[in-house]
A and B are shown apart, each in its own frame.
Chain A
Amino acid sequence: MSVLLEATDLRRHYQVRAGNGLFAAKATLRAVDGVSLTLAPGRTLGLVGESGCGKSTTGKLVLGLVPPSAGTVRYRGETLPAVGTPAWRGLRRHIQMVYQDPLGALDRRLPVGRQIEEPLAIHEQTTPAERRDRALAAMNNVGLQPHQYDRYPHELSGGQRQRVVLARALMTGPDLLVCDEPISALDVSIQAQVVNLLLDLQEQLGIAYLFISHDLKVVRQVSHDVAVMYLGRIVEQGEAESLFAAPAHPYTRALVSAIPTIGPRRERLLLQGDPPNPVNVPSGCAFHTRCPFATAQCRAESPTLQPMASGRLVACHRVHEPALQVAA
């Protein structure tokens, strides 16, 4: 299997003040702390976790928008060039990003058609007529009408704006799209439209997605593989359907069981308390403060991602114990 994107041991640490005031001690916020992932062409990797787990930072690290404190990103086998260099800019036509809030990602004073064309003006030698034709083709691809070319962002609905953002991202023919909560701001009926569109585009164009979301149901719908993050680390990774059907890590189990669903009620693993502050990550396994199965070993030693018999990667000391499976 060829690899499109390979991130190895990515870390992003921020220096912050630990308390209030000018003279508070310095501390390190570990937003991302040793994340490795690979993505094959045309596939989707879902990245899930709660707010502050580092999933968005991971997305930005992959694009080079945030420089890593340590670790490497390789794209088609080549190390990602430094941000701002001509080589990086050339690469950006292959890796595009879609954010949660389309209104924030669009220029309010420019007709959307002009914004869709813009990547061509940057990356390719084209005439205005050519750009317009290709913008109209891209709009057609994402389900926008030609007359919407001259509309301004505020004249479109939320779903249509997100289609504009997608059309713009697709103009340079990328093979990787980093989508950070692309449908979270949309209503249920519109979410389904955009999810279907993303799946269709992948089928037609063979684009790979790094799909970042807190919505487990949507991630399951679009992803081939899923990585679950907690406090800057991946705690579980595997094939989407089997991961959600039989989560192995206690955190994944709690997360999956916390999702309200229609239909028969399931057993719920209710966690106590809030996630710890990422400035002050607990010793050992970061999840031990909320884990119902934590032992002395969990408090002292940090578990590493280990493959299970099924091929699933799990970072938990107790995951192989049969007693744990019964207790859940």
Chain B
Amino acid sequence: MTAPLVALRGLTVDFENGGRLSRAVDRVDLEIAPGEALGIVGESGSGKSVTWLAALGLLPAKARVSGSVRLEKQELVGVPARVLEDVRGKRIAMIFQDPSSCLNPVHRIGWQLVEALRLHRGLHGKAAEAEALRLLDQVGIADARRRLQDYPHLLSGGLNQRVMIAMALAGQPDLLVADEPTTALDATIQAQILALLSGIRRDTGMALVLISHDLGVVAENVDRVAVMYAGRLVEEAPGADLFGAARHPYTQGLLAALPSLTGPRRRLAAIPGTVPDPWNVPTGCRFAPRCPVAETRCASVPPPARSVGFRHVATCHRQVEAAYSVWSLPQAAE
């Protein structure tokens, strides 16, 4: 196996809030290979976004980040901002859910693209403008020359997200972290943007981390999936194995809770209860209070990450079989 492009080791993020510490991310280990597409799935508060904001040093000062994030040989946790500035945009770029709030409303699209090109690639003048045009073309914006003169408010949400992708590509990054890139967009526009992202990956060999709450989006666009719950990684597997043979009760629950677009309608298996508050997480397995197959030890002992198949890891005490969903049990009916 090739050396990982980015490796997270025991990444932990604590937020200090009115004197109490709440752990948003708890000892996350993850690797991403060059050119790989990794999906991060989880509900709100699972730490899926915070993990990557922490990796890039984008969290506010009240966040305490520990553990390690390595980009090839370079450590990124606890290094001076100067080092991170050479990484952000140039090696690892990030795009977010709401493109219109990420673009500067008082500057033209072209100005903002040229700024990114100057910072990341040292391009100026005509060369920068030509490259900006090429980037807009690459992200499928028609009539690019005219669009360079437009302000963000003149563009639709889909077009603004294309501009954000163009800006992220400006530094020719090795890894693009896309945090819910299509959540704010309509279904037909979402399909366009996702098709664009996979086209770019095919052409450039860029690696992708796709963070999403939408299991369908992740299933269609990545090679490997990591599932997070309440700040911890609970399962990690190649896409087909995760969606076809999930081994963690939480992953199985997410899949059973999802209505389908085809086949007979069945009653959804709803996971009871709610996600724990970050300042009041269960001591053992964080999913134990909602889990239909929890045992006594689940409430007190954090489960170890166990290998359950080829590159398939589940963090669960119970040896749940792949062919069998814990949510089809009678006690898990509701």
Contacts and interface: CB of A to CB of B under 8 A. Distances in A.
Interface string A241-266: 10011000000001111111111010
Nearest to B195: A270
B248 interface: no
A221 B216 contact: no
Of A160, A214, A245, A258, which is in contact with the most chain B CB atoms at under 10 Å from its CB? A258
B222 to A, nearest CB: 11
A241 B254 CA distance: 23
A191 interface: yes
A160 B275 CA distance: 12
Interface in B248-275: 253-262, 265, 267-272, 274-275
Interface stretch (A4-12, A182-190, A310-318): A182-190
Interface in B180-237: 186-192, 194-195, 213-217, 219-221
Contact of A189 (B214, B271, B334): B271
Interface in B147-166: 156, 158-159
B268 A260 contact: no
A148 B260 CA distance: 33
Contacts of A50: 186-189
Given A189-B253, A189-B270, A190-B274, A220 B217 contact: no
Given A187-B44, A274-B156, A192 B257 contact: yes
Contacts of B111: none
A217 B215 contact: no
Interface residues of B, number: 43
Of B254, B269, B270, B272, which is in contact with the most chain A CB atoms at under 10 Å from its CB? B270
Nearest to A199: B267
A195 B334 CA distance: 12
B43 interface: yes
B188 A260 contact: no
Interface string A48-76: 00110000000000000000000000000
B214 A271 contact: no
Contacts of B268: 192, 195-196, 221
B216 A262 contact: yes
Given A187-B213, A274-B159, A192 B188 contact: no
A245 B262 contact: yes
Given A187-B43, A189-B270, A262-B258, A51 B192 contact: no
A305 to B, nearest CB: 21
Of A195, A216, A221, which is in contact with the most chain B CB atoms at under 10 Å from its CB? A221
Contacts of B214: 260
A263 B215 CA distance: 11
Interface in A79-99: none
Interface in A204-232: 214, 216-218, 220-221
B186 A268 contact: no
A258 B271 contact: no
Nearest to A221: B259
A213 B190 CA distance: 16
A211 B152 CA distance: 34
A270 B189 CA distance: 9
Given A268-B191, A270-B191, A262 B186 contact: no
Contacts of A214: 186-187
B274 A159 contact: yes
A280 interface: no
A274 B158 contact: yes
Contacts of A256: 261
A88 to B, nearest CB: 34
A258 B274 contact: no
A160 B273 CA distance: 10
Given A214-B186, A263-B243, A275-B186, A189 B220 contact: no
A216 B267 CA distance: 16
A154 B259 CA distance: 29
A157 interface: yes
A294 B141 CA distance: 23
Contact of A218 (B43, B159, B194, B259): B259
A196 B267 contact: yes
Of A193, A214, A271, which is in contact with the most chain B CB atoms at under 10 Å from its CB? A193
A250 to B, nearest CB: 11
30 contacts: A50-B186, A50-B189, A159-B274, A187-B213, A188-B257, A189-B43, A190-B270, A192-B259, A192-B268, A192-B270, A196-B267, A199-B267, A214-B187, A220-B260, A221-B259, A221-B265, A244-B262, A258-B187, A259-B187, A260-B216, A260-B217, A260-B219, A261-B220, A261-B260, A263-B243, A268-B195, A271-B191, A274-B156, A274-B159, A275-B186
Interface of B: 43-44, 156, 158-159, 186-192, 194-195, 213-217, 219-221, 243, 253-262, 265, 267-272, 274-275, 334
Given A192-B257, A217-B258, 16 more contacts: A189-B271, A192-B270, A192-B271, A195-B259, A195-B270, A196-B270, A216-B187, A257-B191, A258-B191, A260-B214, A260-B220, A261-B220, A262-B215, A265-B220, A274-B156, A275-B188
In the A-B complex, list the 6 residue pairs whose CB atoms are closest, starting with the nearest. Answer: A260-B216, A192-B257, A221-B259, A50-B186, A192-B270, A258-B191
